[in-house]
Structure 1
Amino acid sequence: MILCSGSQSMGTIWSQKAFERPIKDILDADSYNFKWPIRKVAIIGAGPSGMISYREFTQAGFEVQVFERDSVPGGNWHYTDETPVDAPIPNADAVVGDYVPSLPPDGVELPYSEEYLDDGSDNISYFDRRREHRGPKPIWKSLTSNVPSPYQQISELPWPAGTEWELMHYKMRNYLRSFASFHGINSNDDNFNISYHTRVEHVEKHVANDGQERGWILTLKKFVKTGPNSSKATWWAERFDAVVVATGRFNAPHVPPIPGLSEWAKRFPGQISHSRQYRRPEQYLNETILIVGAASSGGEISRDLNPVAKKIYQSIRPDNSAVPQSQLRNLLLRRLPRNTTVVPEIKRFHTIVYPSESLSKGRIELVNGTIITGIDRIFFATGFRYSFPFLPRYHNSSIAANETATGGALQPLVTDGTHIRSLHLDLFYIEEPTIAFINMNIGMQSETYAEYLSLALAKVWDNKAKLPSTDEMWRLHRARVDEYGGYGRRFQYLGAQGTDANVRYFMGWLNDAAVKYGGRQINGLPRGNEEILKFWAIARFSSDMFLEGKGLQNGSFDSIDDYFRTNNGNYPIGSDVSDEKRRELIFDSIFHDFW
């Protein structure tokens, strides 16, 4: 059932173009000169990006230390029934969107420790402290991979022959732990180069005795259980020459500022949640559920809940960005169960009149004037924002979307959290390239893309590849901002075509550097990936064409569109889109990870 009124523009297909090369080849005299030698590197996070970075830096001879707030490696692929803390409504500032840093008391000498007894004396249990410290991941019990396994692997550890393409989350977890064990950094390897249960609370420049900046100081906190009813937190500080931030993209939950929502969230705690807290469908048996958003998490959670829910409303807003992706959204909507009631954007949550009034009695007004009631549960599948609480100096929420810092102030990395700015190649912080952010793009696969980014970091910091001058990096960055019409939540979006283009860029740059300065070269993406993605797309979005025998001719990829055009006049891609753009869109639908 569709309650939306009016037609929707099909918009344009968009993905990132390849990075622009500097105006001229980077000669030693024209390259960026680091202020200090780099040999000791900190990596924040032990997900796929952090572990692949560890491999590259250790193989290049660096001294490396990894800090992981969770108890095991694998990043988001560590499922637990434990849920994250409630998402703040309204949103917290991006600087604390992930967590509020826990710093030691002022004036204490480090290392410093505090011990806690789980006796109820301070109303904070061990489980509450642990949950806030480790940050349970935003995945649910039935989650599967959104891309086929041959596309989601690390080159030195291919999946065994015969591995199914669609992987349960626990298989990805086991795969990544196998990679960690292969490199000796699993949680049971007793490797002093990785510290689990350790959260980075603050990162700041290190100023030497002569007043010159030389590296970074990390303030760290480890939280561990010490007995049946006791736990301990320890803070300390370490200095490093360079820092790799590999904390992922799904950290700070985003909930839109809808009028009346804050009042409802206070009134009905536990009934209004961000999708990162969803785990299993059984606890919502026979409930009427409103899911706000229908991208990766919203659509798949809707499918998971469908067999047990009494009714599901799916609220979808128009694409208001400067680069519409309506066709991509229409493809994703094909995965919604047919009995889902799709409704337009929410205008407001009406004021609760009576103190005893339940959520199901509340009135929700849509932008087309429709009022819906009878809702038992609301999930906001409205995505995440970038947040690096350990870098407060590099956040500035007072700067508007396309403004920059003035008066000689540092150019920020994060403003409203929709994007990261001030990065060269979406990797090096232009104002201080000894700190880097790996795999912060969306619309790509972490295991694949991280191999190119981590090699680039290791080569540049080892003086075996060159960055252009600071002025040239800023020129390239500003040209890209202008090309995209400004910053925004798709500034880091790659998609299949953008990923391929950037991989070719990194291959050319790094392999040329290997010839000139030494070090290893890197291969491109494996051949045959496009064929794999072709059949994955058919299975994921058009499986019913096999059942009806429509449009499938010799496995032709274009037959997907033949099917679309004969599907009761419904054009989820658009009849005016070229074959090349249509193929690009369908591939991008696979890489879509706007949670």
Structure 2
Amino acid sequence: MGRKFSVKNVCIVGAGPSGVAAAKYLLAEKAFERIDVYEQRSRVGGVWDYSPEQKTPDDLPVPSVTPHAGLAKPKWLQSGTRKALGGRVEEDSLFLSPLYDRLETNIPRTLMGYSDFDWPEDSQLFPKHETVTKYLEDYAADVKHLIHFNTQVLDISLAATEEDGQETWSVKTQKVQHNMKEDAKVQTYDAVVVANGHFAVPFIPQIKGMKEWAEKYPGAVSHSMYYQKPEDYKDLKTVIVGNGASGIDIAMQVMTACRHPLIQSQKSESFLLSDPSPKKQERPEIVEFIVQDKAVRFADDSIEKNIDSILFCTGYFYSFPFLNNLSPPLVTSGTHVENLYQHMVYRQHPTLCFPVLQQRVIPFPMSEAQSAVIARLWNNRISLPSEEDMKAWEDNLLKETNGGGRDFHLLKFPKDANYINEMYDWSMSAPHADTKGKRPPHWGEKEYWMREKFPEIKKAFQDRGEGRHQVTSLEELGFDFEKYKKDRLVEQKSLL
């Protein structure tokens, strides 16, 4: 039998999609006396809490090569902004979000949403960010009483280990205020869910000559975290570095305004689909910045001169600025989180958990699957393997990913779908799983089909141009699951 927990009081860091899901699953267990959610913003949503305030990369280091950037610092609304932003309170704090003005999801809502909470029927198939924000606010309604808004977590450390082996955590928080600072408060919890996200510390790789180039041409190098709208690139000779979801989407937007051709630098092929365009030129990775002629050299030895703007869509570091005193550490290089079991449980102290660290996954159902495990684990309805077995899991994954790095948390399909179902099986192995607690999602054939097809679905959606805003279903784009099943059955019979 695995380790027994004595968890009554739980702290959750963050009221974004993962933090809210964790609160719901913990609450549904009806086993925890106190659940406190600390959110530094003024509303739920995490990164989906977007403000159209001007993003200025004043404090962006170039290159940006360390995860240890410290606690996030808010900006403050100017007078008269409250009305423009739809009723925010005066002196509201704004924490930077990686969203941008015209962002639409890259996941169809039929796959993206929580398992027990529908989207509005008239939502477009790939919702706008405003729709997602409202969806999250509605989803969080029944746990909103647990959330302490405008409260930043400053530090989390082990408080004590009792004689019976039970641990407690000391959590230091402070109200986010502009002028009058309240004293920090310290409270003790039996367990902590860290759901602060991993889109706060930009990664810009070190490239020969970059630092001198950026100093010579201030503002010419930026990161997708600071991107807002294509008009900011009007008639500028622009290079976009990276071809992940943000890189592809931002490139399509910037291409409508910048000087042509837009240059997109990439190391490998994207998992998303896009058509070749005379307005865009693909190049390999940048290997050198050349101050003279405001130029860069690419890996194929070609050189582009007189560049106005270079936008890095190169992702983020994992960073937990309030968890600096743990041993062994969670973050060293920032490319992945260390000493975890199943990407989630801190092996040495399993009353500390981290939902949805994985990349290339469908985050909302993933947060449900992991939250169900966390809730049942701390309620002693399921158990962990031995510490040796948990370490062996991490060691095996390190071998599979050549030492970890940025591939460690990468779950390419079908690994992501299989993981959701593995978490379902684990959580549902609990006694009375069908009647006690909250039931997590389980993916069937249709979800696997949608997950495999969604790059094609996204491309078909984008190909509609402005007409895409009226598309609300897969079938309107020619993706019909029932027809797919029938066609596959006919094909299988023909092979017999």
The two structures have a TM-score, normalised by structure 1, of 0.69
SS, match of residue 407 in structure 2 = coil
Give the match for residue 300 of structure 1: 249
- Give me the whole-angstrom Cα distance separating, in 2, the residues matched to 1:379 and 1:481: 31
- Give me the whole-angstrom Cα distance separating, in 2, the residues matched to 1:430 and 1:195: 28
SS, match of residue 338 in structure 2 = coil
1:78 is the counterpart of 2:59:
no
Give the match for residue 15 of structure 2: 46
User: CA contact under 8 A between 2:330 and 2:337: conserved in structure 1?
Assistant: yes
Higher mean Cα deviation, 411-420 or 167-176?
Answer: 411-420
- Give me the whole-angstrom Cα distance separating, in 2, the residues matched to 1:383 and 1:296: 10
CA RMSD in angstroms comes to 3.1
User: CA contact under 8 A between 2:151 and 2:175: conserved in structure 1?
Assistant: yes
Q: 1:546 deviation in Å? A: 11
- Give me the whole-angstrom Cα distance separating, in 1, the residues matched to 2:351 and 2:197: 19
Give the match for residue 239 of structure 1: 188
Higher mean Cα deviation, 492-501 or 518-527?
Answer: 518-527
1:339 is the counterpart of 2:256:
no
Q: 1:535 deviation in Å? A: 6.2
SS, match of residue 528 in structure 1 = helix
Give the match for residue 316 of structure 2: 384
Q: 1:335 deviation in Å? A: 4.9
Give the match for residue 446 of structure 2: 528
CA 84–473 in structure 1, closer or farther in 2 if over 3 Å, else same: farther
User: CA contact under 8 A between 1:218 and 1:237: conserved in structure 2?
Assistant: yes
CA 267–135 in structure 1, closer or farther in 2 if over 3 Å, else same: farther
User: CA contact under 8 A between 1:254 and 1:384: conserved in structure 2?
Assistant: yes
- Which one of the candidate residues 285, 291, 299 is aligned to 2:234? 285
1:171 is the counterpart of 2:144:
no
- Give me the whole-angstrom Cα distance separating, in 2, the residues matched to 1:280 and 1:546: 20
User: CA contact under 8 A between 1:464 and 1:517: conserved in structure 2?
Assistant: no
SS, match of residue 421 in structure 2 = helix
Q: 1:344 deviation in Å? A: 2.1
Question: How do 1:52-451 residues align onto structure 2 when only pairs under 5 Å count?
Answer: 52-61=21-30, 62=32, 63-82=34-53, 83=55, 85=57, 86-96=59-69, 99-100=70-71, 134-181=94-141, 183-185=142-144, 191=145, 193-207=146-160, 214-225=167-178, 230-232=179-181, 234-319=183-268, 326=269, 329=270, 332=272, 334-335=274-275, 337-351=277-291, 361-394=293-326, 410-451=327-368
- Give me the whole-angstrom Cα distance separating, in 2, the residues matched to 1:540 and 1:58: 35
Higher mean Cα deviation, 265-274 or 334-343?
Answer: 334-343
- Give me the whole-angstrom Cα distance separating, in 1, the residues matched to 2:228 and 2:412: 28
- Give me the whole-angstrom Cα distance separating, in 2, the residues matched to 1:372 and 1:422: 43
Q: 1:151 deviation in Å? A: 0.7
1:500 is the counterpart of 2:440:
no
User: CA contact under 8 A between 1:306 and 1:337: conserved in structure 2?
Assistant: no
SS, match of residue 171 in structure 2 = strand
Give the AA of the match of 1:386: Y
Give the match for residue 110 of structure 1: none
The two structures have a TM-score, normalised by structure 2, of 0.82
1:466 is the counterpart of 2:387:
no
- Give me the whole-angstrom Cα distance separating, in 2, the residues matched to 1:218 and 1:455: 23
Q: 1:282 deviation in Å? A: 1.6
User: CA contact under 8 A between 1:101 and 1:390: conserved in structure 2?
Assistant: no
User: CA contact under 8 A between 2:273 and 2:456: conserved in structure 1?
Assistant: no
CA 545–346 in structure 1, closer or farther in 2 if over 3 Å, else same: closer
CA 539–443 in structure 1, closer or farther in 2 if over 3 Å, else same: closer
User: CA contact under 8 A between 1:77 and 1:172: conserved in structure 2?
Assistant: yes
- Give me the whole-angstrom Cα distance separating, in 2, the residues matched to 1:351 and 1:307: 28
Aligned length: 450
Q: 1:304 deviation in Å? A: 0.7
- Give me the whole-angstrom Cα distance separating, in 2, the residues matched to 1:517 and 1:534: 29
SS, match of residue 393 in structure 1 = coil
CA 142–419 in structure 1, closer or farther in 2 if over 3 Å, else same: same
- Give me the whole-angstrom Cα distance separating, in 1, the residues matched to 2:349 and 2:194: 14
User: CA contact under 8 A between 1:32 and 1:470: conserved in structure 2?
Assistant: no
CA 87–335 in structure 1, closer or farther in 2 if over 3 Å, else same: farther
Gaps of 5+ in 2: 79-90, 466-477, 482-496
User: CA contact under 8 A between 1:441 and 1:493: conserved in structure 2?
Assistant: yes
Q: 1:233 deviation in Å? A: 5.1
Q: 1:285 deviation in Å? A: 1.5
Q: 1:337 deviation in Å? A: 4.2
Give the match for residue 87 of structure 2: none
- Give me the whole-angstrom Cα distance separating, in 1, the residues matched to 2:129 and 2:341: 33
Give the AA of the match of 1:64: I
Percent identity between matched residues is 26
User: CA contact under 8 A between 2:397 and 2:404: conserved in structure 1?
Assistant: no
SS, match of residue 489 in structure 1 = helix
Q: 1:507 deviation in Å? A: 2.2
Give the match for residue 582 of structure 1: none
Give the match for residue 23 of structure 1: none
1:511 is the counterpart of 2:480:
no
CA 515–211 in structure 1, closer or farther in 2 if over 3 Å, else same: closer
- Give me the whole-angstrom Cα distance separating, in 1, the residues matched to 2:188 and 2:288: 49
Q: 1:87 deviation in Å? A: 2.3
User: CA contact under 8 A between 1:144 and 1:168: conserved in structure 2?
Assistant: yes
